[in-house]
C-alpha cells in the first residue's frame, strides 16, 4: 500500500510558497500543498500564490526539486457565490501542475450547495483538477458519511472527498469502521494528532494554528491509517504555533511532523 506524502503549507505558515517547495524536497516529500485563494478575512494569515510572479517562483522551485503541487486551498462554497470568482486561483494552480483543490461547504441550503459544488467541479474539470469536499466540524457537511453522500449527490466525476484526521476524530467517528466503508471517492488525506477531549475555545484555535505531531496525541492514528485506501496523497498538516513562537525553525517543525508520519505509515499492516 502506497500513499505519497505532501507537505501542507499550514505546517509552516512562516515560509513563502516557493520555500515550502524546497522544504518538501529536503524532507523527501513528493508533493506540496499551497494556497492560491484565501478569503479576505484571512488575507495575510495564509501565504498565497496570487500573481504571475508567484507562479513563476513556485514553478522554478518545482522544476529544480522534482516536487509537484498536489492540492490547492481553499474554495468555500457559500450562499451567493459566483464560482467564476475562483477561476484565476484554479488556473494559477493548474499552471503549477496541481491536481486538485479543496472546498468546504458553508451554505445551509443543501440543494443550493450541491449546485454550487457541482458548478465548481465543472469549472475545474477543463483544468484537469478534482475538487475535494473537506468535511469539518465548523461547516455544513461535518462527517465522512455526509461528505461521501454529498459528493455522490453532486454527480461530478471530478468531485471527491478530503479526509482530514482532525475532523474525522472531532466528528466522533471510529477509525475501526473505515475498513468496511467504500472509500473509493476519497481522493486526498490530511494527517495530524490531537487530544480526545478539547474545549470549544481550543477547537477554534486547533484547526489553523496548533495541531499535534502524529503519534504524540491521543487520536488512534494506527487504526486510522490501517483503514485508508492506497493511492491518495497524505498531506502532513500540522501547524505548530507554540513551537514557531519558541523559535523552532520551519525545517525542524516540518521534519518532526513528516518523520512521525512516515513512522506511522511504515507500521501499517500489509
Q: In angstroms, rounded to a whole number, what is the distance separating the alpha carbons of residues 30 and 22?
A: 11
**Domain span at residue 44?**
5-266
Name the phi and psi angles at 198, rounded to 5.
Answer: -150, 145
- Which CATH number goes with the domain that contains 212? 3.20.20.150
Place of cell 516557493: 18
Q: In angstroms, rounded to a whole number, what is the distance separating the alpha carbons of residues 238 and 116?
A: 30
Domains contained in the chain, number: 1
SS (H, E, C) 79-143: CCCCHHHHHHHHHHHHHCCCCEEEEEECCCCHHHHHHHHHHHHHHHHHHCCEEEEECCCCCCCCC
From first to last of the 270 residues of the chain, give the pLDDT tens digit.
Answer: 589 999 999 999 999 999 999 999 999 999 999 999 998 888 888 999 999 999 999 999 999 999 999 999 999 999 999 999 999 999 999 999 999 999 999 999 999 999 999 999 999 999 999 999 999 989 999 999 999 999 999 999 999 999 999 999 999 999 999 999 999 999 999 999 999 989 988 888 898 899 999 999 999 999 999 999 999 999 999 999 999 999 999 999 999 999 999 999 999 987
Instruction: Write down the pTM of the prediction.
Output: 0.96
Amino acid at each position: 500500500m502506497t500513499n505519497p506524502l505532501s507537505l501542507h503549507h499550514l505546517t509552516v505558515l512562516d515560509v513563502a510558497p516557493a520555500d515550502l517547495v524546497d522544504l518538501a524536497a529536503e524532507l523527501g516529500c513528493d508533493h506540496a500543498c499551497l494556497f492560491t485563494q484565501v478569503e479576505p478575512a484571512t488575507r495575510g494569515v495564509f501565504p498565497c500564490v496570487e500573481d504571475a510572479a508567484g507562479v513563476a517562483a513556485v514553478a522554478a522551485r518545482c522544476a529544480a526539486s522534482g516536487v509537484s503541487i498536489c492540492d490547492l486551498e481553499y474554495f468555500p462554497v457559500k450562499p451567493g457565490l459566483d464560482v467564476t470568482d475562483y477561476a484565476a486561483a484554479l488556473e494559477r494552480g493548474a499552471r503549477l501542475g496541481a491536481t486538485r483543490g479543496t472546498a468546504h461547504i458553508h451554505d445551509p441550503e443543501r440543494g443550493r450547495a450541491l449546485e454550487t459544488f457541482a458548478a465548481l467541479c465543472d469549472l475545474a474539470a477543463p483544468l484537469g483538477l478534482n475538487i475535494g469536499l473537506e468535511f469539518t466540524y465548523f461547516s455544513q457537511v461535518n462527517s465522512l458519511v455526509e461528505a461521501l453522500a454529498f459528493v455522490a449527490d453532486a454527480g461530478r466525476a471530478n468531485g471527491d472527498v478530503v479526509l482530514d484526521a482532525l475532523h474525522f476524530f472531532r466528528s466522533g467517528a471510529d477509525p475501526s469502521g473505515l475498513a468496511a466503508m467504500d472509500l473509493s471517492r476519497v481522493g486526498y488525506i490530511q494527517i495530524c494528532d490531537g487530544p480526545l477531549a478539547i474545549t470549544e475555545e481550543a477547537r477554534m484555535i486547533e484547526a489553523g494554528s496548533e495541531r499535534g505531531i502524529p503519534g504524540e496525541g491521543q487520536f488512534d492514528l494506527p487504526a486510522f491509517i490501517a483503514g485508508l485506501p492506497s493511492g491518495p496523497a497524505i498531506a502532513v498538516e500540522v501547524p505548530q504555533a507554540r513551537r514557531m513562537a519558541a523559535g523552532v525553525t520551519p525545517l525542524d517543525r516540518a521534519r518532526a511532523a513528516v518523520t512521525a508520519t512516515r513512522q506511522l505509515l511504515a507500521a501499517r499492516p500489509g
